[in-house]
Structure 1
């Protein structure tokens, strides 16, 4: 996408409200997008493409309490468990716009920029983080070379390429630096006190353990599905689009020119399948039209993507 479209989206979207997520909430979200303002029988939904979602305990809890065995938007959106993680969403930019790209630093499928949706920690996390870690001049779990939020602490982000002419969105990447950095640092505790004091003199080992066990562990369980669920919510509710593409592992590596530093395979296999994405050899139209990619498509004729349609069909 080009800078003007990205700037327009940033100027018109308001993300001031908190974003809440709990385990498997995406199942409720997907059914809500399908139902919208209708009331649909559970039996009918189980026979639809969303039938697999009813294996989730969160849906089983909801349906067990419905005497008429029907679902609607209100019943799906009013369910809240005892714990729900609070996050803040923000938008950023990643990439450069040039007709002929000759580097792979930005890892975008086509020349241009990506819109970045950032999933940032909420106040509950931040209070514990500043109490236990109390960073002074730098945050130990932040990578400034990646598209993190200018304000706030970024747990994860999703990079998206958007085309309103074709009505398509391509999720280029979902990633977290924060969790990986925390786990890596926790692992160094086993090297002993002398090593820790030499390389991390400003961090207290006991505080780091408490921070991981009391706070980070909760986000570690759901960060990937929370990020993808937030991206789909943004596409559906804020952009008004419904056709979402997502790279398969092999295609993503080819399109983004990743040879050595490849992402975790599960993020491009298990995660999209969990949400009901299906594999397709049909590339996003805006990639097919991109002159820069003609050679790539010719060299790799069997590329595959995941695709999900968020239109109401129930």
Structure 2
């Protein structure tokens, strides 16, 4: 069975103002997500499921259906605030979606096979998709999930601090924990993490970090549903609380539900954390095209 790729794209429109302005980086006007889909198809993924906001469904399909028709199966799922709340009332002041793990949960009825999850606006690289596909075809099960681990040094921005899920990996290459570090920055050629009290700690460029590229068995849906109920009991009245994928993964490990393999990739990640990152992303993609990694026009 071919695995599915679930793309978290519900936040795209809010960041770009309108989907019509999704930033074009490739030589033929490709967006970052175009490269992820291209890499996924050649790695053997059989279906692409987009998590989007309902109000942008028509625009979204107009962008992606002409490119992907006949190349891969597609489906569209909406992240709606009231989904899976089961008896809990939506707080009146809540405007923010419930977070990445809730977005994944919203795809429950669309996915019955092993699947990977990625962000729409991150470039992950061919190696990452090939490793994820191999894991999903051969090794995934209800007690074995995975995340693609990036080297921290390949994920920082020269234009400001970034947030990264810093992974602690055990001797069996399994995840022991993920800790969200919000202020990681390059300073004088070193990678520094700033603690809440202002003190700084140097991190090795080889530190394994999560860029939200996970590989799951469909059993993750029932686990997420249960944990979302727990989350709502405790945090629903907090206007900005979010139910993130690492919360589910940590609970899965902590409760003895199974293991999460950390699969290292040598791929260079890039994304646009700051608008100043954009020229560098464009230059990196052009270099990959010139090196023959990608065709000049992905969908021709």
Could you say which TM-score interval applies, normalised by the shorter chain? under 0.3
RCO greater where, 1 or 2, for CA within 8 Å and sep 6 or more? 2
Structure number with higher strand proportion: 2
Larger Rg: 1
Structure number with higher helix proportion: 1
Q: TM-score, normalised by structure 2?
A: 0.23
